[in-house]
Chains A and B, each alone.
Chain A
């Protein structure tokens, strides 16, 4: 049989300091840029405003379109190429969004842009997609997205606390929070527009990253039950190594699917695919280098005890301290 990473004995946990330094640096740079240049690039779904996607018969030029749109009296609109050079998006945010005169959110903006462009390009331009969101709806959506993130984390924490044990749950949630922070930093640094689909990608990552951590922790739980190794450091390493082939293979298939989306599914899905693509790497990285060391740290801080109050596992690598240790009889999983 074809095997990769079989019976490995890498000392993953040893690198946790380096890993921590790297990831903290990334987060600091990302979040620092939030402080310097303001928040992320929210889509009009959140800020309120109008988005118009145009398709030209012939390749067009963004500067030229900008001149036309400015001429229509819609100042400060963003013009962006959308995939090929015959497709462009026009975004007008904020105050242009609601239009009292027409009673339609963004109606005047859309009408104005279309009229001005038709005047210049005639039938050579077509509005293929448009959307307008009033400021109130935008505010509601951002609140919804925020609540969804928070609630998502909370619910998984509760689930893990029930299914595993609070130490595992805490480590998993902290590591997932880390993933979300890193992904946000990534979105910020690469100027991805945060639309509802990107929020969906982040929430999917929340689940995915949790998956990965659960797979490793499930193995840890099992190994703790077996009680073969009394020191937690080795036990963690062993669990990570044992699950390594699975991790590699699953990430390969998921990455393959994401890559297909990234390349073939078109411009609308691309930001989603990028976030997923990056997030899968982060989830893999964090389940090994963040979640496991975190679990060790938590075990160190609040060691588990058996009925008599003696520690059942030893977080330290020093075997001298665990000399008199007997195998744990206490199941690590609280649920089963």
Chain B
């Protein structure tokens, strides 16, 4: 009797615990934000839905070593992880996941995000900020004849490596290359430079003179001087070619010492033609983004969208002393190797404040840039090796389909069990209800994520869960056949069935554990639900169903001669 009471207590206790685990509630918890912990009130949902059910993005990233190797990868990845996490925390997604997977990968999961490009930018942008002074000594103009010479010498070799320079006569994409190797078209380049100079009203200065002398060269004919010293225009169509030329090691070596090329981030139109800009700047930045204290987006009348930044005191001092040396110079604001906006002229020494103009981009772009600047630069470039993106509507459809399948499976199983085992079948169904509640509670307890394969695993484990009951019932029937009393038959049935139930469950749990170990994302969800389902099924079949029987035997007070099974 006491035995029975403690059994019932345990079942009810677990039921209450499950209800508690499954009940959505509001909790106050310590959350790491910025520098320290703050108390935050969040709504706890019992079972989180996986990305495939609620929609969202999954990104896997590795260190990009295509532009030079990284010495201490593991440490670099840890630092990158911290930066990415800070950025994502500020990105405004509820319950994002940012974690390391294995030793060389960062996983980012953003539920509910469907602006893929934006999310990728925020995660992947290096956000390395530098301020570099543009060249005003016409160093590139002076070096141009030499660069042209190098390109001419390399001409033959270049033809082989430049893609698109193959002998396909159809597409017009190869025109700059054709211009390089077919002498007759060289005039075109000169024309364009002249046209540009014309459109460039009133700003012709001495740089033009320097350029005219070299207009015939393979590089120089694609360039036109800009409106400020060290600035150059390239037709948007020619930009890839020029970029390739300027990246050749021979050219890089032949550039004026202490100078480097930086491309502008935007395209500018002059008349009907689109142009890219590049700048020759001092290789040494006067200051970098490491001193950045704060950044926020703003819209100002003239420049449009800007990001205003504040440097810390040390950075402010350094910035002031550097800029005071460069009054009347132009300063390129370089973000991730690209010059943002047009370099402003330094009117007087600048202290701790400055701004980055965003060109024609919208406020959201400025917000995102401010966000990544605040979070700091990525210590290493990251490349995305895997993406998954699920639309919210598809996720909703999947949930709906999964629930439909689950309900129908339950109805079928209930019909079979009650139809075949009658009263005992009804007991098993009651146990099955408890089984479903317990399984959900176990999932909630382990804060498992429910995925679509996870739902499939649950539906499947429903089918498997009744197996334990079936084993027991068949055993009881056999014992009854042998002429045992009802009480005896029930006892024997359970005792004999247990070994098979334990063995089968153990094997399934072992394979599911292997799946968990080697699976990813949704498959892990499947393994977890399968394991939770089997643990709950063993408990309900062996313990709960038996308690129901004991209860029934007790109520009939020894008068039970027959059992509906």
Contact = CB atoms under 8 A, between A and B. Distances in A.
A47 B507 CA distance: 31
B406 A105 contact: no
B361 to A, nearest CB: 18
B408 A260 contact: yes
Q: Interface range on chain B: under 10, 10 to 19, 20 to 34, or 35 or more?
A: 35 or more
A273 interface: yes
A159 B409 contact: no
Contacts of A28: none
A298 to B, nearest CB: 19
Contact of B412 (A133, A204, A260, A276): A260
A169 to B, nearest CB: 11
Contacts of A268: 52, 398, 452
B412 A214 contact: no
B536 interface: no
A309 B372 CA distance: 78
Contacts of A115: none
A196 interface: yes
A243 B500 CA distance: 11
B66 to A, nearest CB: 7
B412 A272 contact: no
Interface string B509-543: 01110110111101100110010000000000000
Given A105-B387, A214-B503, A257-B460, A200 B453 contact: yes
Nearest to B389: A130
B222 to A, nearest CB: 21
Given A253-B413, A256-B412, A265 B456 contact: yes
Interface string A205-242: 01110110011001100100000000000000000001
A286 B518 CA distance: 27
A207 B460 contact: no
A159 B505 CA distance: 12
B254 to A, nearest CB: 26
Contact of A249 (B391, B416, B518, B522): B416
Given A155-B510, A155-B514, A261-B409, A218 B503 contact: yes
Interface in A253-270: 253-261, 263-266, 268-269
Interface stretch (A17-25, A140-148, A186-194): A140-148
A264 to B, nearest CB: 4
A197 B453 CA distance: 7
Most buried by A among B462, B463, B503, B504: B463
A211 B504 contact: yes
A128 B386 contact: no
B460 A204 contact: yes
Interface in B12-66: 52, 60, 62, 64, 66
Given A105-B386, A137-B60, A204-B460, A264 B398 contact: no
A246 interface: yes
Nearest to B502: A163
Nearest to A218: B500
A207 to B, nearest CB: 4
A144 B526 CA distance: 16
Which of the listed residues B381, B391, B515, B564 has the most CB atoms from chain A within 10 Å of its own CB?
B515
Contacts of B66: 100
A257 B462 contact: yes
B370 interface: no
A136 B503 contact: no
A260 B523 contact: no
A126 interface: yes
29 contacts: A1-B421, A2-B422, A103-B124, A128-B391, A129-B389, A137-B60, A148-B515, A148-B518, A152-B511, A160-B507, A197-B456, A197-B522, A197-B523, A197-B526, A203-B512, A203-B514, A204-B460, A207-B508, A214-B503, A242-B478, A253-B463, A254-B464, A256-B416, A263-B405, A263-B408, A264-B404, A266-B402, A269-B452, A273-B456
Given A211-B507, A246-B471, 17 more contacts: A2-B421, A55-B393, A105-B387, A136-B385, A137-B385, A148-B517, A148-B519, A159-B507, A207-B512, A208-B464, A250-B471, A254-B463, A257-B462, A263-B408, A265-B452, A268-B398, A269-B405
